[in-house]
Amino acid sequence: MKIHSGTARSKKKGISYAKWGYIFLLPFFVVFVIFQLIPLISTVYYSFFQYFRKGLQIVGPNFIGMQNYAKLFATDLPKYFQNTLLLWVVGFIPQIFFSLLLAAWFTSSRLHLRGQRFFKTVIYMPNLIMAAAFSMLFFALFSDNGPVNGTLISMGLIKQPIRFLASVSGTRGLIAFMNFMMWFGNTTILLMAAIMGINPCLFEAAQIDGASGNQMFWHITMPLIRPIMAYVLITSLIGGLQMFDVPQILTDGTGSPDRTSMTMVMYINNHMFSRNYGMAGATSTVLFILCAILCLLVYFVMTKGSRDQEVS
């Protein structure tokens, strides 16, 4: 590589490799502009319009300024945002806990676990199932006369079936549990990669100095995987804010009971019944802004230490 760049520099009229860089990037940007940027801009654009279907009649688009936003903030939007965050947090806490634990175990040279490949495959499995199918499965498992209730009753633990999906904590718990199940495998793999990227000399040195496994984890592993943790947290946060398929299928789009499991994207989807692009656009724009603010916040908090170091 060095030789090439050297020759390129020596000949002034040499081939510009930068051109190829742009050419290879082009497909991405074309796809990005067509499928991401243009829809994004049109979403924001239509959020200022009255534009929906009344039966088979198309109303609008009529420019109405900020009216959609005014209407939106008069609704229960904060509640849906809270629901979304809560569902994400309740799922994310066990997810990060178990992922860290498993990643530490799998990479520990002391434990030297056998059959790692098998376990890695198994814990990743739930993520391979479509979220909708997974949700459908849970709906059947935890229904009033589903196998879970059937087993509990036949074991004599309960007399009446537990109506999981009729209670707030049952529904929210199941959604969080599903999200945890689906994503902890993925997070484990990411964290393992991060831990394995740490120079083993550090662990060896610490061991020679007599550090315990616990100490090594908290004082070597944790600080060094911080950038990956920030990445995991931010991607999970974005995924969490866009939570849709699991609660949508589990509650049949109602967010029941009492709209306590209605997420932001489910709320956007409600507006699509009458193709209400104005209100759906306004909600999407608000979600986009909230998402950006939260991600920036997480990024700055999580990487504060390492950025300070860079400066010093």
Partner 1 sequence: MKRRTNAVVAMALAAAMTISLAGCQGGGGASSAAATSSSGEAAESQSSQAEENTASSQSESEGKVLNIWCWNDEFQSRFNDYYPDVQTVAKDKSTTTLKDGTTVKWTINPNKGNNYQDKLDQALFRQESAAADDKIDIFLIEADYALKYVNSDFTLNVKKDIGLTDDDLSQQYKYTQDIATDSNGALKAVTWQATPGLFAYRRSIAKKIFGTYDPGKVQEQLSSWKNFSSAAAKMHSSGYKMLSGFDDSYRVFSNNVSAPWVSGTTVTVDPNIMNWVKQTKEFTEKGYNNKTILWDDKWSADQGPSSKVFGFFYSTWGINFTLEGNSLKTPVSEGGKEEKGNGIYGDWAVCAGPQSYYWGGTWICGCKGSDNIGTIRKVMKSLTCDKDIASKITKDTQDYCNNKAAMNEIASSDYKSDFLGGQNHIKLFAEVAPKINLKNTSSYDQGCNEEFQSAFHDYFNGTVDLAGAKRNFEKSIKEKYPDLTEVKWPS
The residue ranges that bind partner 1 (CB under 8 A) are 20, 23-24, 26-28, 30-31, 35, 52-57, 59, 75-76, 140, 143-146, 163, 166-168, 252-254, 256-259, 267, 270-271, 273-274, 276, 279
- The tokens describing 126, both together, are 């739930």
**DSSP secondary structure letters along 237-299:** HHHHHT--HHHHHHTTTS--STTTT--HHHHHHHHGGGT-HHHHHHHHHHHHHHHHHHHHHHH
* Helix/strand/coil for 66: coil
Q: Which residue has the tokens 């943790």?
A: 229
Q: How far is the CB of 205 from partner 1 (least distance, A)?
A: 40
Q: How far is the CB of 54 from partner 1 (least distance, A)?
A: 5
Q: How far is the CB of 304 from partner 1 (least distance, A)?
A: 35
Nearer Cβ to partner 1, position 39 or 227? 39
Q: How far is the CB of 21 from partner 1 (least distance, A)?
A: 10
Q: How far is the CB of 154 from partner 1 (least distance, A)?
A: 14
Distance CA 180, CA 126 (A): 10
* Helix/strand/coil for 50: strand
Q: How far is the CB of 77 from partner 1 (least distance, A)?
A: 11
With left for phi above 0 and alpha for psi between -120 and 50, is residue 112 left, alpha or beta?
left
Q: How far is the CB of 255 from partner 1 (least distance, A)?
A: 9
Nearer Cβ to partner 1, position 7 or 199? 7
- The tokens describing 243, both together, are 């939570």
Nearer Cβ to partner 1, position 51 or 180? 51
With left for phi above 0 and alpha for psi between -120 and 50, is residue 43 left, alpha or beta?
alpha
Q: Detail the DSSP E strand segments found in 145-232.
A: none
- The tokens describing 312, both together, are 């010093």
Nearer Cβ to partner 1, position 20 or 218? 20
Distance CA 141, CA 158 (A): 16
Cα 57-62-66 angle, rounded to 5 deg: 130
Nearer Cβ to partner 1, position 54 or 112? 54
Nearer Cβ to partner 1, position 40 or 198? 40
Nearer Cβ to partner 1, position 91 or 278? 278
